[in-house]
Amino acid sequence: IGILGNTQQKTFAVVYDVANQKIGFGAKGCT
Amino acid sequence: ESSGAPDWHVVSVGSLLPSSICAAATAASNSSALSVVHRHGPCSPLLARVGGAPSHAEILDRDQDRVDSIHHRHRGSGAAPAINPARASKGVSLPAHRGLSLGTGNYIVSVGLGTPRKDFSVVFDTGSDLSWVQCKPCKDCYEQQDPLFDPAQSSTYAAVPCGDPHCRGLDSSTCASGNRCRYEVVYGDQSQTDGNLVRDTLVLGPSDALQGFVFGCGDDDSGLFGKADGLVGLGRAKVSLTSQAAAKYGAGFSYCLPSSSSSAGYLSLGGAAPSNAQFTAMVARSDTPSFYYLDLVAIKVAGRTVSIPAAVLKAPGTVIDSGTVITRLPDTAYRALRSSFAGFMRRYKRAPALSLLDTCYDFTGHRTVQIPSVALVFSGGVTVSLDFSGVLYVSKVSQACLAFASNGDDTS
């Protein structure tokens, strides 16, 4: 399996929408 | 490109390395948001170990331990892993369960426990479920940053009895005298925590309280935890913080990891997604129910799709993990990415490999560098163009490496 590591996740708002079984990425999420 | 992202990053070489001074601002935008900082950066509340933070090579070497343990769990090997006899003797009454290696690239959040509240700095981990801190009385605890959590000083503390669903739902638990639920977690790097399963109030942010939070009260702990006071598990099982908090905050959470170890991000339970978020399907697998999977379907470099057979990425699937530092790809995919990236980087001098990173460059003498963008394309067409900090892992100006690695082959 591939693994998406934390380096590649940096600065994105990573959204775990468990209710709807979706994962979201929002650019410039830390600002 | 559909994302509208630029195809290149142009970056000042002087900004490649993080500051030695913490530049974190107040992070919480709502009452349940926690500030996230890198465990080994200047914003970390954990005191540096003797000799300072681990080297980049050490961090990356340890990262492979974490990846190996993810693969081990995914394969669902029926054979019990070899346990260090010295460790096994500590948990002799409990079935050892091999969990994830902790890695050293983990991020830290601060939470409050008990009434009155005491604050603790804990690793946050989307790859495991049970949260825990070290507690008094302690049979064998490692040295941590803060005083141990003392249940006797909390008016809201309660033990979890053996018949409780949270106890029965653990991978490794036994019933001890007084109807106490004992848990054990043995991580993939042989780090270990044993203790009582308990309930108490968890305080997130300045004052937001989650009553009756179930967690482990470790009293026999050892391994590679550094000075962290414990761990908060954000996996998919019912005992995870995110599952326990779902009734109050909604079934979801979000975080942002900062671009540098000298700045801060956040971890937030519930709450609205940012308006610019693009969503892809979350995939569940019964053999590894704690993990969050998604479908990576393509990779772009400088806006051009890298030639990778679809099945190479699609068939094995992809786990998203907060505790793995470097993204791992099937070997065919990694080789194609590396070839494409190197083709755009021919103007720069190559540098020696850094641990598992084999595509490195020496930027000495340059004022700015121009780096091709790397975008990950997920099912549904969601294209995530990585931040510059997600493309290169910079150990020093003379050694900046493509921050991806191979899984070794396409099937392992």
pLDDT tens digits for range B275-299: 999 999 999 888 888 899 999 999 9
How confident is the model at residue B242, as a pLDDT?
Answer: 93
The β-bridge partners of B174 are B182
Please name the member of B274, B282, B317 whose beta carbon is closest to the beta carbon of A26: B274
Instruction: Report the distance separating Cα B404 and Cα B7, nearest Å.
Output: 18
CB-nearest to B71 from A1, A16, A23 is: A1
Residue with tokens 């969050």: B292
B193 touches A at CB < 8 Å: no
Length of chain A measured in residues:
31
pLDDT in single tens digits along all 412 residues of chain B: 334 457 999 999 999 988 888 887 654 445 578 899 988 888 888 866 555 678 899 889 888 888 888 887 776 543 333 333 343 333 323 333 345 555 555 899 999 999 999 999 999 899 889 999 999 999 999 999 899 999 999 999 999 999 999 999 888 889 999 999 999 988 767 788 999 999 999 998 888 899 999 999 999 999 878 888 999 999 999 999 999 999 999 999 999 999 988 899 999 998 889 999 999 999 988 888 889 999 999 999 999 999 999 899 988 889 999 989 999 999 999 999 999 999 999 999 999 999 999 999 999 999 999 999 999 999 999 999 999 999 999 999 999 999 999 998 766 5
What's the confidence (pLDDT) of residue B5? 53
Peptide bond into B137 cis (omega under 30): yes
User: ipTM for the complex?
Assistant: 0.99
The whole-number pLDDT of residue A16 equals: 97
What is chain B's mean pLDDT, rounded? Answer: 87
What would the two tokens of residue A4 be? Answer: 């998406």
Rounded alpha-carbon distances, angstroms, from residue B391 to B8, B26, B176, B225, B299: 11, 27, 50, 28, 12
Catalytic residue among B171, B208, B229, B321: B321
Query: Within a 10 A sphere around the Cβ of B198, how many other Cβ atoms?
Result: 24
Check if B189 is active-site.
no
Q: Verify whether the Cβ–Cβ distance B407 to A17 is below 8 Å.
A: no
Q: Per this entry, what is the length of chain B?
A: 412
Q: Are the CB atoms for B140 and B90 separated by under 8 Å?
A: yes
Element (H, E) at B57: helix B56-75
Residue of chain A nearest B274, judged by CA positions: A26
Q: Name B182's bridge partners.
A: B196
CA dihedral for B176, B181, B187, B192, sign (positive or negative): negative
pLDDT in tens, B114-125: 999 999 999 989
Question: Best of B279, B326, B334, B391 to disrupt the A interface by mutation (most A CBs within 10 Å)?
Answer: B279
Helix, coil or strand: residue B389: helix
Which among B125, B189, B219, B229 is annotated as catalytic? B125
B321 as an active site residue: the answer is yes
Residues of B (238-277) whose Cβ lies below 8 Å from A: 242, 246, 250-259, 263-266, 273-277
**Contact residues for B143 (Cβ-Cβ < 8 A; gap 6+):** B227
CA distance from start to end of chain B: 33
CB–CB contact B279 A15 (8 Å): yes
